[in-house]
């Protein structure tokens, strides 16, 4: 079964850190670029970041650059998002998604999302 | 950053009616435009890729058209299960961006 499963969300105070994980199965993870997309409560979709299939290339939205870091472990079919210096505006459901090997493909696989709430 | 502007923001439609949603890009993106459907409390699902290519398993009443800066998603003969928010997404240039969404309600 082709799927992505996110975990690691929760409630965290502003300025603190959180690490999200995304576990993949049913497709060739090691050949796939992986993205994070977030959705604030009641709002639209916002692209956050992408990592290349080999982990060497990473790109971030301006809103998270310098605070969030992507990594992946192809031996474990796992993607990670380290989120530091969290702000209230980072509150959102975080989805991992992929369109295959190319960053520029449509996202045909999405996870179910994990909720991150940044609040004091 | 490429800005995608969707219209309308909201549409209330009777079953079997035709729905047209537009997405305008702030600069030319060729055909690198995709459409997703998101129902409440669900993750988005791909409907149309590269402006007009239907994704596998998507009902034939969904179609897409356009190129450059102007794109359209059409739902022919709307069904009750099509109540959702629809988003366009450009993958021409990083940062990738999404339109603001169009919520379709069934009357």
Determine the 3-state secondary structure of B105 from DSSP: strand
Tell me: the pLDDT tens digits for A16-32? 999 999 999 999 999 99
pLDDT at B38: 98
A8 touches chain B (CB under 8 A): no
CA distances from B97 to A70, A77, B21, B25, B26 (A): 19, 26, 17, 10, 11
pLDDT for B12 equals 96
% of chain B exceeding 90 in pLDDT: 100
Tens digits of residue pLDDT in B6-45: 999 999 999 999 999 999 999 999 999 999 999 999 999 9
Query: Tokens for A74?
Result: 């192809």
Closest partner CB to A59 (pick from B55, B94, B99): B94
- B54: nearest Cα among B44, B43, B65: B65
Q: What is the pLDDT of residues B57-83, one digit of tens each?
A: 999 999 999 999 999 999 999 999 999
Please count the residue pairs, one from chain A and one from chain B, whose beta carbons lie less than 8 angstroms apart. 58
* Residue of A35, A45, A100 to mutate, testing the B interface (most B Cβ within 10 Å of its Cβ): A45
Residue A109: its pLDDT value, please? 97
pLDDT at B34: 98
Please name which of B53, B41, B32, B40 lies closest in space to residue B98, comparing C-alpha atoms. Answer: B32
Residue A115 is predicted with a pLDDT of: 98
Q: List all residues of chain A from 49 to 108 with a beta carbon under 8 Å from chain B.
A: 50, 59, 61-62, 95, 99, 103-108
Rg (CA), chain B: 13
Q: What is the pLDDT of residue B95?
A: 97
């Amino acid at each position: 079964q082709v799927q992505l499963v996110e975990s690691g969300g929760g409630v965290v105070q502003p300025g603190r850190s959180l690490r999200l994980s995304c576990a993949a199965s049913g497709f060739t993870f090691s050949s796939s670029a992986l993205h994070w997309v977030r959705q604030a409560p009641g709002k639209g979709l916002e692209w956050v970041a992408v990592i290349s299939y080999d982990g060497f290339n990473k790109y971030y939205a301006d809103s998270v650059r310098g605070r969030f870091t992507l990594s992946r472990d192809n031996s474990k079919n796992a993607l990670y998002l380290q989120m530091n210096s969290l702000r209230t505006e980072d509150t959102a459901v975080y989805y991992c998604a992929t369109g295959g090997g190319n960053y520029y493909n449509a996202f045909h696989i999405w996870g179910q999302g994990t909720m991150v709430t940044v609040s004091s | 950053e490429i800005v995608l502007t969707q219209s309308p923001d909201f549409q209330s439609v009777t079953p079997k009616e035709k729905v047209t949603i537009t997405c305008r890009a702030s600069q030319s993106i060729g055909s690198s435009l995709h459409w997703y459907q998101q129902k409440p409390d669900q993750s988005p699902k791909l409907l149309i890729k590269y402006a007009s290519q239907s994704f596998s398993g998507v009902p034939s009443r969904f179609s897409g058209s356009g190129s450059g800066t102007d794109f359209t998603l059409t739902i022919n003969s709307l069904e009750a299960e099509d109540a959702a928010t629809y988003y366009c997404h450009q993958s021409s240039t990083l940062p990738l961006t999404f339109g603001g969404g169009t919520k379709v309600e069934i009357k």
